[in-house]
A and B are shown apart, each in its own frame.
Chain A
Amino acid sequence: MTGKDEAELSRLMQAAIAGDEKAYADFLRRTAALVRGFIRRKIVQGGVDPEDVVQETLLAIHVKRHTWRQDLPVLPWVYAIARFKLIDAFRRRGRRIEIEIDEIAETFAEPEAETVSERDINRVLDGLPPAQRSVVSSVSVEGRSIGETAAKFGISETAVRVSLHRGLAAIAKRFGAKQFGRAK
């Protein structure tokens, strides 16, 4: 983490909140890499897949982005959410973990690794109402735009946006629950 990261990410997030989707994609990709480096360094014993925590953190950042105050630096906000989600991941698995705050400065961005393991998010996704699930899958895994998704399902773009928004909020909420059922 450097001052340059901070300035750049703050600028991107401000643009994103103002409605710039390109800036938001840049922000999320760079933030994901930083959070991944942070989480991987913190998880020394097994039991928790770092990428699951990265995804939970990104979802929390997304649904809680109104809690970032634009006059404050964005990285402490990002890392506080990542730390919270990491502790939560361990707690859900009945483990305790101590996390030091001041090691953040040594975090480096890391790329996503190929993995064969089933993601937590897929299990949660499977538990969504069908309309939300198919829209979220279409926009994410299948890589369609909002317009293409609307055409595929024969519904309006507004309906796609609403389903996507509700679906993502529901996934984040499931992650926040005390236990998210592995079966769901």
Chain B
Amino acid sequence: MRTDDLIKALDADARSTAMPLGSAWWAGAGAATLIAAVVFWLAIGPRTDIATAIYTARFVAKFVFTMALAVSAFALIRALSTPGASTSRLAAWMIAAPLLVVIAVVLELLSVPAADWGRRLVGSNMLICLTFIPLIGIGPLAVFLAVLRYGAPTRAVLAGSVAGLLAGGLAANFYAAHCFDDSPLFVATWYTIAIAILAALGALGARLFVRW
């Protein structure tokens, strides 16, 4: 088939009803949030003292970290799924969430006696954390990988790992409302591991399923 013949066929199929990728990302974000919310409520739900917890800095800080991660990952993955879009500035914003956590860890180390560090780091919920962040995030990750497939990522594995970070940020945002361990030492350790699991799954999923 000559290229001119191919163009005839493409031209005859010009009518496009496909949703623009930008809209697909917002639809995906909505669906993913809904899935995460449902799993969260069915599986664990918020902690009982949440009404008073929201007035403590450490509790609120958890949502600042997870929101920073989710927002920066969402902005980056939209660019990564669009050929030719510049990603370097958005990639630089990915440092925001880890940086905030590092600052919080330093403040925690300064304000808490060293004897308490170990207890705060280990906490009481680490297995629940390592179980439920991936569990709440796996549905959203599937949604984000589906949107990646709909898009055109030229670096699929990288985009898949960012999809995992996005799903992880979203899931951690819900999980944080359940968890009693508010110390930045706990968050920096166990949330990070849980989210890294989702990032690895995202990279693997993209490698297997995101082709175009």
Residues in A lying within 8 Å of B, measured CB to CB: 16-17, 19-21, 24-25, 28-29, 32, 36, 51, 54-55, 58-60, 62-69, 72, 76-81, 83-84, 112, 119, 121-122, 125, 136, 139-141, 143, 145-146, 161, 164-165, 168, 172-173, 176-178
Do B3 and A112 touch across chains, with their CB atoms under 8 A apart?
A: yes
Do A121 and B1 touch across chains, with their CB atoms under 8 A apart?
A: yes
Contact partner of A62 (CB less than 8 A), chosen from B2, B10, B24, B211, is: B10
Given the complex, which residues of B lie within 8 Å of A59, measured CB to CB? 6, 10
Q: Does B14 contact A (CB under 8 A)?
A: yes
User: How many pairs of residues, A versus B, come closer than 8 Å at their CB atoms?
Assistant: 125
In the complex with contacts A83-B154, A178-B211, A141-B10 CB distance below 8 A: no
Question: Considering residues B3, B18, B82, B211, which has the most beta carbons from chain A within 10 angstroms of its beta carbon?
Answer: B3
Do B11 and A24 touch across chains, with their CB atoms under 8 A apart?
A: yes
In the complex with contacts A29-B7, A112-B2, A81-B83 CB distance below 8 A: yes
Given the complex, which residues of B lie within 8 Å of A165, measured CB to CB? 13
In the complex with contacts A60-B212, A143-B5, A16-B14 CB distance below 8 A: yes
Closest chain B CB from A19 CB (angstroms): 6
Do B16 and A65 touch across chains, with their CB atoms under 8 A apart?
A: yes
Contact partner of B9 (CB less than 8 A), chosen from A29, A72, A76, A164, is: A164
Chain B, interface size: which category? 20 to 34
Q: Does B127 contact A (CB under 8 A)?
A: no
Interface members, chain B 159-210 (any A CB < 8 Å): none
Complex interface bits, B146-162 against A, C-beta within 8 A gives 1, otherwise 0:
00001110100000000
Do A64 and B9 touch across chains, with their CB atoms under 8 A apart?
A: no
Closest chain B CB from A82 CB (angstroms): 9
Given the complex, which residues of B lie within 8 Å of A84, measured CB to CB? 83, 152, 154
Given the complex, which residues of B lie within 8 Å of A66, measured CB to CB? 16, 18-21, 24, 150
Smallest CB gap from B22: residue in A: A69
Complex interface bits, B1-42 against A, C-beta within 8 A gives 1, otherwise 0:
111111111111111101111101000000000000000000
Given the complex, which residues of A lie within 8 Å of B22, measured CB to CB? 69
CA distance A80 to B155 in the complex (A): 11
Smallest CB gap from A22: residue in B: B11
Do B152 and A25 touch across chains, with their CB atoms under 8 A apart?
A: no
Q: Does B84 contact A (CB under 8 A)?
A: yes
Do B3 and A32 touch across chains, with their CB atoms under 8 A apart?
A: yes
Across the A-B interface, the 7 shortest Cβ-Cβ residue pairs? A80-B83, A76-B84, A80-B84, A140-B9, A66-B18, A140-B5, A77-B84
Apart from A77-B85, A80-B154, A173-B212: 10 A-B pairs, beta carbons within 8 A? A21-B12, A28-B10, A32-B7, A67-B21, A72-B82, A84-B152, A84-B154, A112-B4, A139-B8, A168-B10
Closest chain A CB from B145 CB (angstroms): 15
Closest chain B CB from A122 CB (angstroms): 6
Q: Does B66 contact A (CB under 8 A)?
A: no
Q: Does B72 contact A (CB under 8 A)?
A: no
CA distance A68 to B18 in the complex (A): 12
Closest chain B CB from A23 CB (angstroms): 9
CA distance A146 to B12 in the complex (A): 7
Do A81 and B152 touch across chains, with their CB atoms under 8 A apart?
A: yes
Closest chain B CB from A129 CB (angstroms): 16
Do B152 and A67 touch across chains, with their CB atoms under 8 A apart?
A: yes
